[in-house]
Amino acid sequence: MALSLDLAQLGAAYAAGATTPLEVIDEILCRIEAAGDDHVWISRRSAEDLRAEAKALAAQAVPTRGPIYGIPFAVKDNIDAAGLATTAACPAFAYQPAQSAPVVARLVAAGAILIGKTNLDQFATGLVGVRSPYGTPRNPFDPAMAPGGSSSGSAVAVAAGLVSFALGTDTAGSGRVPAAFNNLVGLKPTRGLISTRGVVPACRSLDCVSIFALTVADARQVLAVAAGFDAADPYSRAAPPGFSLVQRLPARFRFGVPAPAARVFRGDPSSRTVFEQAIADAVAAGGEAEEIDFAPFAEAAALLYGPWVAERSTALRVIFADHPEALHPVTREIIGAGFAESAVDLFAAQHRLAALRQVTAPLWQRLAFLLVPSVSGAFSLAEIAAEPIATNSELGRYTNFTNLLDLAAIAIPGGFSPAGFPAGVTLIGPAFHDGVLATFAERLHRDAAPTLGATGEPQPAAAPTPASAAVHPEIEIAVFGAHLAGEALNATLVGLGGRFRRPCHTAPCYRMLALPGAMPRPGLVRVGVGGAEIAGEVWALPSAALAPLLTGIAPPLGLGTVALEGGAPAFGFICEAGAAGEDITAFGGWRAYRAARR
């Protein structure tokens, strides 16, 4: 069967009647057989079960078939799937789950076909992909190179064309590092967007279920099915009103990149070239690059190897105490070190992390995303064997901080070295900006990587943005007071999916009042004469978020049409005529007035 397994082409083949789920399963079984002992799988469903499920799917009425109907997928073996043991790559730990993890159940209910459970760094402790008693999954680009971890088997299964997508986990980078080494998209969603119930914990407060896919569109489609609030998961979070995975690419945007001194590539010129090309591609797409101070992100990353190691030790304290010999030697060393951390160390680190969140938060008020290399370079299996801890730590340079700072991320292919080994870049943004990141990532992926994984198949044609009720296009809103970046209510805009677009000024026909009340806020009043230009900002907000925004606006303020400089109309905050308050027009804007009052 000469058919790519990406969702667009496989879905089109189903729709056209060119293939059936049963034919796809038979092809996958042949591919797995041909791959031989590649150390990708820990357990698989029987051929009989897979064929029976495929036949049952084929009997479904066409109108009931969803976007992942008949799509084969794999699951990292630290995620429960009914009928298959969960081992976390530790045979002594293995158990038979009574039911599938909610994320697996959601995918199966939507028509996806689970093929089996994949290999991993034991207990998801590692970024290298070599710490497993089940062997090291063979990198399909170069068997002498690491596959990346900890979700090694999941990444290789997708890259090698054995499944359409796979679930991994990502606590420190386990869903992004393997994506870089396998020419894949690795989506690390906002923490809590996908339930982690039924997942063997690594650092439970930081763990995310991640998605490996051949294209950004595929990853986004899978996330749309997999995401959902789970009241039984204490770390689950509901997406805010207006949250959408489909966005429009703005004509102009600003993105961040580490300053040159913070760009480390282990002397790997190809990785540097890939990153610099990604910056150029983003600029060509309408972006403006801003060099940022990467030091706070690096400091946050370093915290992960301090007291947060104790969280891993907490999850594994029973097997560490009762069966330490069952642990991989490197895993045992790491877990053992966590027991030496104290509560004092943890609180000190938490306080420092809170400060680093405050330091980095203002960046998201002006940046659409932060662009970083996915890894600083690739390691061979021999290099990892010689320096197992140091190489692993280096692979987390651009990934370890993401969950600690409550950020979303998506890794995409960026190109290849002269030897043909892949490298990638990652887009990072605030929590619940998953759709925004995917929109930019899809554009950059198309510019950078013409083929899918290691299959040699070309990227499918870009699908038009669907004009459906599930899509919430953005609307621009001009703000002039407490919703400005850095002001008291700006977090409301950001939480609703808002993104800073540009500074602005009104036309010279407004006066500004400081309104009385407990919450300092201004009122923008249009006048016939005696007006002035008032400084403000234009933000983009998903249109579905307008209703929750309106509920928080108290009289005499409201939303209406504001005339900007040059006379261009804009949707924005206005004030009722006749409102009482101190006239602060002479300051030229709310920030200047507030600065003068401090």
Question: Which active-site residues does the annotation give?
Answer: 76, 150, 174
- Are 484 and 591 in contact by the 8 Å Cβ rule? The answer is yes
SS3 28: helix
- Are 118 and 108 in contact by the 8 Å Cβ rule? The answer is no
Query: How many C-beta neighbours within 10 Å does residue 321 have?
Result: 9
What count of residues does the chain have?
598
* 38, two tokens: 């590649």
The DSSP line for 252-263 is: SEEEEEE-GGG-
- Are 214 and 184 in contact by the 8 Å Cβ rule? The answer is yes
Q: Which residue has the tokens 């009104």?
A: 506
Residues 447 and 439: their CA atoms lie apart, in Å, by 13
- Residue 520 CA from chain centroid, whole number: 36
Q: Which residues of 422-447 are buried (b: 16+ CB within 10 A; e: fewer)?
A: bbbbbbbbbbbbbbbbbbbbbbbbbb
SS3 161: coil
Q: What is the DSSP letter of 233?
A: S
Given phi > 0 = left and psi -120 to 50 = alpha, else beta, which region is 169?
A: beta
Given CA atoms 35, 37, 43, 47 in this order, what sign does their dihedral have?
positive
Instruction: Give ∠ CA 359-360-366 in degrees, rounded to 5.
Output: 120
Query: How many C-beta neighbours within 10 Å does residue 182 have?
Result: 29
> Is the N-terminal amide bond of 556 cis, ω within 30° of 0?
yes
Q: Which residue has the tokens 């869903």?
A: 175
> Is the N-terminal amide bond of 150 cis, ω within 30° of 0?
yes
Helix or strand holding residue 167 (H, E): strand 165-169
φ, ψ (nearest 5 deg) of residue 537:
-140, 150
Helix or strand holding residue 48 (H, E): helix 47-58
Residues 594 and 521: their CA atoms lie apart, in Å, by 10
Residue in 380, 384, 405, 402 with CA at minimum distance from that of residue 393: 384
One-letter amino acid identity for 121?
D
Q: What is the DSSP letter of 532?
A: B
Residue in 388, 390, 430, 387 with CA at minimum distance from that of residue 407: 430
Helix or strand holding residue 317 (H, E): helix 317-322
- Residue 257 CA from chain centroid, whole number: 17
SS3 553: coil
Residues 595 and 573: their CA atoms lie apart, in Å, by 21
